[in-house]
Structure 1
Amino acid sequence: MASADNNAESLLVVARQAATRAHCPYSNFHVGAAVRCDDGSVIDGCNVENASYGLSICAERVALFAAITQGKRPLELAVSCVDAQTDAAPGSRMPCGACRQVMQELLPADAKIHIDGVGHQHLSELLPHPFELDHSS
């Protein structure tokens, strides 16, 4: 079990480092994410804000999309909101609904999501009733 804890912590370290590159002049909320892929590689991402808020993108989606564009298969994800207050409610550190839906599409249902300052949850706990399309037709 210590090995799993070390893997989670190493993924969180990468997420924290990615947060330092965030472009967040509007929220000043630096977020980083790291995805471990099936080949053992780790892909990171940070949030990128835009004056037209709808064009902004969260760190989790940046990391997941980068993994997919590199031909990788994501297995687990870590996210770090380095500007979150240490005494803040866990909800301020959690992935947004859009990111949860993207995670549902690109990660295995039993994927672990490591949330800095909160712990880990399985994707199925974060999004228990996801939107899904039937791929069998």
Structure 2
Amino acid sequence: MSSEPISLSKALASFDALWSPRIVTRVNDYDVRVAKVEGEHVWHVHDDTDEFFLVLDGELHILLREPAGERTVVLPRGAVFTVPRGTEHKPYAPSGAAILMFEPTGTPTVGDRHGEIPDHVDSTTGHALDV
């Protein structure tokens, strides 16, 4: 990790792949990841950790399957939301978005339980940032 400040706009400009997060820094045992997203991700669950989202640009929707039923959370630019551990969810961005996520190092982007992974979704624990 860098000992210098990191520009999130430069970090995002350094790659084009969608649903393929880059690790910009670490805080204790947590990765701070940025990603470009568009279209749908995959329904998935993180059994042992919450998942934090901050929308840097665009708008992110997160479908949630909760005991009371399904609902959609809409996050405009600047909004944050935490998906509680054990909650099945599916992020999607109809018009594209840039997001920042905060989760334990080694957490897979497709969770611990998921459906079929489409070709446009990168199943990873985050990629190193090349800036």
Would the TM-score normalized by the shorter structure come out above 0.5?
Answer: no
Bigger relative CO (Cα 8 Å, ≥ 6 apart): 2
Could you tell me the TM-score, scaled by structure 1's length?
0.30
Could you tell me the TM-score, scaled by structure 2's length?
0.30
Comparing both structures, which one devotes a greater share of its residues to strand? 2
Comparing both structures, which one devotes a greater share of its residues to helix? 1
